[in-house]
Amino acid sequence: MLATKTSITSNNHVREFTFPRGIAGFPGATRFAFIYEGKGNLLCLQSIDQPEAAFILAPWDTTRLGQVPTLSTEQYECLNITNAQGLRWFVVLNPFADKTWVTANLKAPIVICESEQTGLQYIRNQPQLHLRFKWMKQPQPACRA
């Protein structure tokens, strides 16, 4: 494994996760894999069907965001589970929209079930949630001597 924080990536093979409903804007992309670069806690979720769809994810931070959303019975079924045990929540980062900040989409987090290798994008209807929440500063370019 590449990291102890996550068991969803592996050196030896790509674990495929099925998103039965796809991801908004990419209806044909239902098979995804996680790519982890080994630095920090960010992950790259890439579509196997549409490789250009590669999202950077950050783990859900309860300190900043509060508790994770509650799934409906139907959403549990979509993930092929019956309860919230073993679920992992992420926010989708956008590092390309702002020069100063990496933003996070709080309206549509990603939840995955590692044991079933399933996932979905959870649409939140609350209008007060930010599409581009200031998540972290953009990395500074390395100084040259």
Partner 1 sequence: MMVIRRKVGQAIRIRDDIRIVIHEIRHGVVRFGIEAPDDVAVHRLEVYEQIQQENKAAIQGDALAWLKARG
Instruction: Please calculate the CA angle 85-72-80 and round it to the nearest 5 degrees.
Output: 55
Residue 84 vs 108, nearer CB to partner 1: 108
Q: Which of 58, 78, 112, 113 binds partner 1 (CB under 8 A)?
A: 78
Q: Which of 18, 46, 60, 133 binds partner 1 (CB under 8 A)?
A: 46
97 counts as binding partner 1 under rule CB under 8 A: yes
Residue 45, CA distances (Å) to 90, 93, 109, 128, 130 in order: 11, 11, 13, 26, 21
70 counts as binding partner 1 under rule CB under 8 A: no
Q: Which of 5, 16, 37, 49 binds partner 1 (CB under 8 A)?
A: 37
Given the DSSP bridges, would you call strands 101-113 and 118-121 parallel, antiparallel or unpaired?
Answer: antiparallel
Instruction: Please calculate the CA angle 106-71-56 and round it to the nearest 5 degrees.
Output: 35
The distance of closest approach from Cβ of residue 135 to partner 1 in the complex, given in angstroms and rounded to an integer, is 12
Residue 126, CA distances (Å) to 82, 107, 129, 143 in order: 25, 8, 6, 42
Q: Which residues are at the interface with partner 1 (CB under 8 A)?
A: 21, 23-26, 35, 37, 39-40, 42, 44, 46, 52-56, 72-74, 77-78, 92-97, 105, 107-108, 121, 123, 125, 131-132, 139, 141-142
